Chain A
Amino acid sequence: MLSVLKRNPVSVILAILLHILIVAFLVFGFDWSKLRKPTTPKANVVQAHTVDAKQLDQAREREKEAERKKQKQREEALKRKQAEEKKRQQQLEQKRIAKEKAEQKKREAERKRQAQLKKEQEAKKKAEAKRLAELEAKRKAEAKRKAELERKRKAELEAKRKAEAKRKAEAAAQAERERALQEQLAAEQNSREIDRYVAVIRQQIERNWLKPGQAGKELSCVVQVRLIPGGDVVPGGVSIIRSSGNSAFDRSVETAVYKAAPLQVPSGPLFESFRTLRLNFKPSG
């Protein structure tokens, strides 16, 4: 900076001046808002002229005259206006009356129309009610008819059912009878068959029976034999149920049963009668 100052002092002075300016601006510039003067409102200035007194009087007179004239005119105008107003009022009144009349007429017509409408509605309602009643009656009749039909149908059904039941019962009874008959027949046949087998078994046993010599004719014993299908005797399945009183006789019967095995028994359902077999033995012949 010193070299600049030596060579070119103007620049340095310029720079310093610039800074002083800026500082001054900063320091005082901030008060600008305060410095701004409040603007006083401008007062209304009265425009005045000098006037001659006579002229003033004349002028006043003229003014008065003019004022009077004006007043008169105003009154006339007022009168005219009032008359007009009255007329207007009358017209308005007339108009109003006419309007009212028209209104009344209209109302009358409306009322008539309303009455007509009401009547029509009434008639309609009546017709409707009638129609409804008819409908109701029809419906009732229909219901009755239906109920009757139903009742009939039910009765028929009942009769049919009864007949059916009777028929069924009869059929059942018939079947029962037939079945009983059949059973009886079967039983008869079975018993015949069984008798036949029993006779065969008795013969088989008697063939193997060694009757003790001293056995009297009056002796008899009942023996029970338990069998398995095929005719074999269950071991230990022979027991004396009613002894003859003679043990030798009893034993000889037992032995004969064992010896005779296998016994000839029927196969199938008929065997059931031979599972336990009771046989009565007498030394007959």
Chain B
Amino acid sequence: MSTDLTITHLILNASPVVQFVIALLVFASVSSWSMIFDRMRILKRAGRAADEFEGRFWSGGDLAELYRQIERETDEESGMAAIFRAGFREFARLRTKGHKDPMAMVQGAQRSMRVSLNREVDRLEHHLSTLATIGSTSPYVGLFGTVWGIMNSFTALGNVKQATIALVAPGIAEALIATAIGLFAAIPAVIAYNRYSHDVERLNNRYDDFVEEFATILQRQAVA
């Protein structure tokens, strides 16, 4: 056969709609992979930071000292350290204002910690929804490109008297590339989404536990 059936050739010869779909899918794939790498780094860092902070927190040092250290060493806090800072700051502020009710002090600290926790989790979950969207829609986009390409090649087939498989085969092949790319974009996105939402869930649980434990410690101090 004289026609060249390499992938490059097929893509360059495809109809504009199919080419557009392919470009869209390539863009989706690139962004999904960007997010995958980004999340990978952020989640790994968050997990490591949580480990480190828990080690410091449970080493038995003075909490005020720890707070001062944390204030000093980092400008942009994240993870458990941020939650700790928010809680302790609120607690200290309430104590200096001369509140007598220990329950109220603890509740205030807990509330500010909860807010900080939500912010942290939101930061971790950022972009995960985009991954999910790419994972679920790019097969359909690819399928759309394929259907469009096949439609075109059958229309061309209708204009000739003698229909041969050689007439439609290149068209169908080029159309199928769109589906292939759609699947190629979707599969890693779905896998990464599942993996990362699980990781975020686990981190969220760790933060929750920390909030409760810290609240208990603060209550003890307030009562004493």
Which A residues lie at the B interface, using CB under 8 A? 1, 3-5, 7-8, 10-12, 14-16, 18-19, 26-27, 30
Judge if B26 is at the interface, Cβ distance under 8 Å.
yes
A12 touches B6 (CB 8 A): no
> What are 15 A-B interface contacts by the 8 Å CB criterion?
A1-B30, A1-B31, A1-B34, A3-B127, A8-B34, A8-B38, A11-B33, A11-B36, A12-B30, A14-B33, A15-B32, A15-B33, A18-B33, A19-B30, A26-B7
**9 shortest interchain CB distances as A-B pairs:** A15-B33, A11-B37, A1-B31, A11-B38, A15-B34, A12-B34, A8-B38, A11-B34, A14-B37
With A15-B36, A19-B26, A19-B29 as known contacts, state yes or no: A8 contacts B6, CB within 8 Å.
no
The smallest beta-carbon distance between B37 and chain A, in angstroms, is 4
| Cα separation A26 to B30 with both chains bound (whole Å) | 16
What 1/0 flags go to B120-135 for Cβ under 8 Å of A? 0000000100000000
Give B residues with C-beta under 8 Å from A: 6-8, 26, 29-38, 41-42, 127
Give CA–CA (A16, B6) in the complex, Å: 22
Bound form: Cα–Cα A122–B187 in Å? 104
CA distance A188 to B74 in the complex (A): 180
Q: Is the CB of B7 within 8 A of A10?
A: no
| Further pairs besides A1-B34, A26-B7: 19, Cβ < 8 Å | A1-B35, A4-B31, A8-B41, A8-B42, A11-B33, A11-B34, A11-B36, A11-B37, A12-B37, A14-B34, A14-B37, A15-B34, A15-B36, A16-B30, A18-B33, A19-B29, A19-B30, A27-B6, A30-B7
Asked whether A5 lies within 8 Å of B26 as measured between CB atoms, the reply is no
Closest chain A residue to B39, Cβ basis: A11
**Minimal Cβ-Cβ distance residue in B for A2:** B31
Q: Are B8 and A27 in contact (CB under 8 A)?
A: yes
B127 touches A11 (CB 8 A): no
**Would you call B6 and A19 a contact (CB within 8 A)?**
no
Q: Known contacts A11-B41, A19-B26, A19-B29; decide if A5 and B34 are in contact (CB<8 Å).
A: yes
User: Does B7 lie within 8 Å of A15, measured CB to CB?
Assistant: no
Known contacts A16-B30, A19-B30; is A4 also within 8 Å of B35 by CB? yes
- B30: chain A residues within 8 A (beta carbon): 1, 12, 15-16, 19
Bound CA span A26–B34, Å: 21
Which residue from chain A places its CB closest to the CB of B130 in the assembled complex?
A1
- What is the minimal beta-carbon distance from B78 to any residue of chain A, in angstroms? 13
Given A15-B33, A18-B33 in contact, is the A7-B38 Cβ separation under 8 Å? yes
- Rounded to whole angstroms, the CA-CA distance of A5 and B26 in the bound complex is 17
Contacting residues, chain A, for B38 (C-beta < 8 A)? 4, 7-8, 11
Closest partner residue, chain A, to B40 (CB atom): A11
Known contacts A27-B6, A27-B8: A4-B127 contact under CB 8 Å: yes
Q: How far is the CA of A5 from the CA of B31 in the complex (A)?
A: 9
A196 to B31, CA, bound (A): 163
Residue numbers in A under 8 Å from B33 (CB-CB): 11, 14-15, 18-19
Task: Please determine whether B29 and A11 come into contact, CB atoms closer than 8 angstroms.
Answer: no
CB-based contact B34/A30 at 8 Å: no
Nearest-neighbor residue (CB-CB) of A1 within chain B: B31
How far does the alpha carbon of A3 sit from the alpha carbon of B26 in the complex, in Å? 19
Provide the bound-state CA to CA distance between A10 and B39, in Å.
12
B7 touches A27 (CB 8 A): yes
Minimum Cβ distance to chain A for residue B198 (Å)? 20
Contacting residues, chain A, for B26 (C-beta < 8 A):
19
What is the minimal beta-carbon distance from B155 to any residue of chain A, in angstroms? Answer: 28
Across the interface, which residues of B come within 8 angstroms of A3, CB to CB? 127
Which residues of B are found within 8 Å of A7, using beta-carbon distances? Answer: 38
Residues of chain A within 8 A of B6, CB atoms compared: 27, 30
Using Cβ atoms and an 8 Å threshold, which residues of chain B touch A14? Answer: 33-34, 37
Between B31, B32, B33, B38, the greatest number of chain A beta carbons within 10 A of the residue's beta carbon is seen for B38
Docked CA distance A7–B42 (Å): 11
- Which of chain A's residues have a CB closer than 8 A to the CB of B34? 1, 4-5, 8, 11-12, 14-16
Residue of B nearest to A11 (CB): B37
Q: Give CA–CA (A8, B35) in the complex, Å.
A: 9
List, in ascending order, chain B residues with CB within 8 A of A11's CB.
33-38, 41
Return chain B residues, CB-CB under 8 Å to A27: 6-8
In this complex, which of A3, A10, A19 has the most chain B Cβ atoms within 10 angstroms of its Cβ?
A19
Distance from A3 Cβ to chain B, minimum over Cβ atoms (Å):
8
- Inside 8 A of B29's CB, which chain A residues have their CB? 19
Nearest B residue to A27 via CB reads: B8
Q: Across the two chains, which residue of chain A brings its CB closest to B27?
A: A1
CB distance from B7 to the nearest CB of A (A): 5
Residue of B nearest to A15 (CB): B33
Q: Which of B6, B29, B32, B37 has the most CB of A within 10 A?
A: B37
